[in-house]
Structure 1
Amino acid sequence: MNTEQTVRTFIEYFEERGHRRITGSTLLPPPGDPVLFTTSGMHPLTPHLEGRPHPLGRRLVNVQRCLRTTDLDEVGDRTHLTVFEMLGTWSLGDYEGPQSLDWGYGLLTDGFGIDPGLLHATVFGGDEQVGPDTGSLELWQDRGVPVELTVDDNWWSNGPTGPCGPDSEIFLWTGETPPQSTPTRDDRWVEVWNHVMMRHRRLDDGTLVPLPQRNIDTGLGLERLSSLLQGRSSVFECDVFDPWRRLVPTLWQLDEPSLRLVCDHLRSAVVVIGDGVRPSNTGRGYVLRRLVRRVLTVLRRDDQQRGLGDLPDELVRHTLDHFRQDMDPDLVRQVLLDEERRFGRLLERGRLVLSRPRFRGPLSEEDFHYLHDTHGLPRDLVLSLRPPR
């Protein structure tokens, strides 16, 4: 099942159960949202989760592109991406958690053909303010799925204050042996789907009050799901990365972690540019700048002549088409090349600064902070510019 078929199966399954498909938004969150980028499908729906009626009703489904800066340092492993797509469903004061989990179990096992014996669930076990999530626990026990009770790992919140509630996560076994242990003790259990029972609001003093309505908010990463359904060992081997895996190694010889980072960051940069962001020293523009410069730092670590001018048009077009972005690929390339030129000037300045007697010996944390704050030289760039010792 390729990624397009996965999306179609997901959407149609929930449409058959009364959900209306809503159009996913761009990476830019709605006005008033404090985050730089949309990090989940629920961001554009926040007013409706807090009680405002949605024009399409109480049951919704969509595909939302997301960006998580918190995952930047995780990129290179087998499950994390900077920009990804999130499949999501919502009940706005309609059905409850056990119904959502029952449908989720049915889609995974019947719709996607996953062996039920490879599933494991985690459920909120209760704390001093909220009791255990017995409804989810009983549902999983009825389905014969093993359950692990946790506290912090199964409480979802959107920050220190605001909407929150218990959640139940569904994991798939990816090991070569029969399933063993539990999700918190063995990372061969990979999280596939999170079902949040969004019932509370946390106030400034830490107390919880009921939301105007009891909601369900679920989300699962499309690329991660696709890689699992396709029997691939990482998200970078699912079909949406096929053009990248085919073309990038012909341009630059890279080890596997570096190849993953370059593919992820370039793909993410194209999507960010496609949504109207341009490089800058602050906010969203700084995230884009960091993505591009991390790519250039990796590429030039072994060969100073490597550059983004070699990036095939096919990869830019493929990415814009996949994320349904109406932008001229040539404009995207121009933004990338302009940033590469700025980075080149930064490299020249960096070499001059690092040639000073002060920086010829081992660098202290104070030196790294000074180089970053005064000269705009990040740690990874400084380390790449210093000759081996």
Structure 2
Amino acid sequence: MTPEQIVRTFVDHFHRRGHRCAPETSLIPPPGDPVLFTTSGMHPLTPYLAGRPHPSGRRLVNVQRCLRTTDLNEVGDRTHLTVFDMLGSWSLGDYGIAQSLRWGYELLGDGFGIDPGRLHATVFGGDEQVGPDQIALETWTALGVPVELTRGENWWSNGPTGPCGPDSEIFVWTGDGAPTGTPGGDDRWMEVWNHVQMRYHRHDDGRLTPLRQSSIDTGMGLERLEMVLRGGRSVFECAGLTPWVDSVRGLWRLDEESLRVVSDHLRSAVVVLGDDVRPSTTGRGYVLRRLVRRALTTLWRDDPSRTLSELPVEPYVDTVRRFRQQAEVGRLRELLSDEERRFRGLLLRGRPVVDRCRSRGPLTEQDYRWLHDTHGLPRDLVDGLLGKGG
């Protein structure tokens, strides 16, 4: 299936079950949300998950572009991306977890043709405050899907306080041969879909009280699902990543991890720019700057003459289209080139400063702090491009 066919299959499945489309938002969260970027499809729906009536009803479905800064250091492996599309469905005080899991099982098997024998679920096994999720356990058992019970791994929360509750994650076997082991012990089990029960509110003192409305929030990464359906070994083989991977590989010789980092970060930067974020020293702009400069740091380790102006226009065009943005591609390329020029200037100014520090001996933690706070030179830049301090 193409990504477009996957999205259509997902949305149609829930339309037939009474869900209506919730509008997609940009990567910029709604006012009052403390998170820098939209990290999941539920973020724009937070007021409705808390009990406010949604104009489209109590059953919703959509696709939402997301960005997770928590995964930045994981990018380079086979499954993590900075920006991705999230397929989501919601029950706002309507049906419960058993119905959600049964519909999910039907979609994966009947809709996407995934062999049920390749599925494994994890379920909240209980802790000192809340007992095991017996309904989810019984639902999966009745469907013939093996279950692994966990604690914290299957407890969803939006932070130390606020809405929270048990979840059940669906994993698909991506290894060769028959499935073995469990998701907790074998990383060939890849998580594709999480079904969250928002049932509680956690208070500052750790107490849990029931929410006025119990809701279901599910999220499935489009690129991971595409990887499963293609029989691929990584998300970087998927349609939305290959324009970047092929362009970067065609221009520069990089090891596999570096190739993935550069491809992911440049693609992500284009999406962030397309939602009107600009590089800066704080907040969202700093995340964008970090993406661009980490990609450049990786490129310049072997050859500082490499430049983003060598990249063809096709990956930009493809990314803007796939993420349903209206940005002008020429302007996006200009913005990346401007940031590259600023970064080159920072390197020229920073190298003699770092050399003076190193002349006194190996760099200390105090040196790193001073280089960052006074000259804007982050540690990874100092170590990666300006010489390790020993």
Bin the TM-score by the shorter chain.
over 0.9
Render the CA deviation track for 1:90-122: whole Å, top value 9, x for unaligned: 000000000000000010011111111111101
Which residue number corresponds to residue 222 of structure 1?
A: 222
- The Cα of 1:253 is off from its aligned counterpart by 1.3
What does residue 265 of structure 1 align with? 265
Matches for 1:127-276 after TM superposition, within 5 Å: 127-276=127-276
What is aligned with 1:16?
16
Question: Which amino acid counterpart does residue 140 of structure 1 have in structure 2?
Answer: W
Q: Name which of structure 1's ranges 351-360 and 341-350 shifts more when overlaid on structure 2.
A: 351-360
Amino acid at match of 2:93: G
User: By how many angstroms is 1:363 displaced?
Assistant: 2.2
Query: How do 1:114-129 and structure 2 match up within 5 A?
Result: 114-129=114-129
Amino acid at match of 2:302: D
1:328-350 superposed Cα distances (whole Å, 9 cap, x missing partner):
11111111111111101100111
The structural deviation recorded for 1:180 is 1.3
Q: Secondary structure at the match of 2:220?
A: strand
2 CA distance for matches of 1:200 and 1:384? 45
Aligned length: 389
The equivalent residue for 1:326 is 326
C-alpha distance in 1 between matches for 2:310 and 2:93:
51
- Output the CA distance in 1 between the equivalents of 2:222 and 2:387: 42
Match of 1:100 in 2: 100
Q: How far 1:289 sits from its partner (Å)?
A: 0.5
Deviation of residue 365 (structure 1)? 2.6
Q: Distance in 2 between matches of 1:66 and 1:7?
A: 15
Q: Contact 1:2–1:230 at 8 Å: present in 2 too?
A: no
In 1, the alpha carbon distance for the partners of 2:64 and 2:114 equals 24
Q: Deviations for 1:281-339, whole angstroms, at most 9, x for unmatched residues?
A: 00000000001111111111111110111121111111111111111111111111111
Q: Does the 8 Å CA contact 2:357/2:363 hold for their aligned counterparts?
A: no
- The match for 1:296 is 296
Match of 2:82 in 1: 82
User: Partners in 2 of 1:386 and 1:57 — Cα distance?
Assistant: 56
Taking the aligned partners of 1:357 and 1:164, their CA distance within structure 2 comes to 48
C-alpha contact 1:170 1:191 (8 A) present in aligned 2: yes
2:189 corresponds to which letter in structure 1? Answer: W
Q: Distance in 2 between matches of 1:91 and 1:230?
A: 30
- 2:29 paired with 1:29: yes
Q: Deviations over 1:230-258 (max 9, x none)?
A: 11100111122222232221111111111
Instruction: Establish whether residue 65 from structure 1 lines up as the match of residue 61 from structure 2.
Output: no
Query: CA, structure 1 residues 89+301, in 2 after alignment: closer, same or farther (shift >3 Å)?
Result: same
**Contact 1:22 1:61 (C-alpha < 8 Å) held by counterparts:** yes
Q: Distance in 1 between matches of 2:176 and 2:361?
A: 48
What is the identity percentage for the equivalent residue pairs of Structure 1 and Structure 2?
68
**Deviation of 1:176 (Å):** 1.1
Task: Please list the CA deviations of residues 177-224 of structure 1 after superposition, one character each: whole Å capped at 9, or x if unmatched.
Answer: 321111111111110110001111111111111111110000011111
- TM-score between the two structures when normalised by the length of structure 1: 0.98
Moved more, 282-291 or 302-311: 302-311
1:352 aligned residue: 352
Distance change in 2, residues 1:44/1:282 (3 Å): same
Find the residue that maps to 2:362 and give its secondary structure.
coil
Residue aligning to 2:377 = 377
Three-state SS of the structure 2 residue aligned to 1:355 is helix
Q: Distance in 1 between matches of 2:14 and 2:236?
A: 27
Q: Which runs of 5+ in 2 are unaligned?
A: none
2:366 counterpart residue number: 366
Give 3-state SS (helix, strand or coil) of 2:304's partner: coil
Shift, 1:369, TM fit: 2.2
Q: Contact 2:247 / 2:311 at 8 angstroms: preserved in 1?
A: no
- CA distance in structure 1 between the aligned counterparts of 2:365 and 2:184, rounded to whole angstroms: 34
Amino acid at match of 1:57: G
Q: Distance in 2 between matches of 1:358 and 1:2?
A: 52
Instruction: State the one-letter code of the partner of 1:206.
Output: G
What aligned pairs does 1:299-318 form with structure 2 within 5 A after superposition?
Answer: 299-318=299-318
TM-score by length of 2: 0.97
Which amino acid in structure 2 is aligned with residue 134 of structure 1?
Q
The alpha carbon displacement at 1:387 in A equals 4.9
Name whichever of 375-384 and 37-46 sits farther off. Answer: 375-384
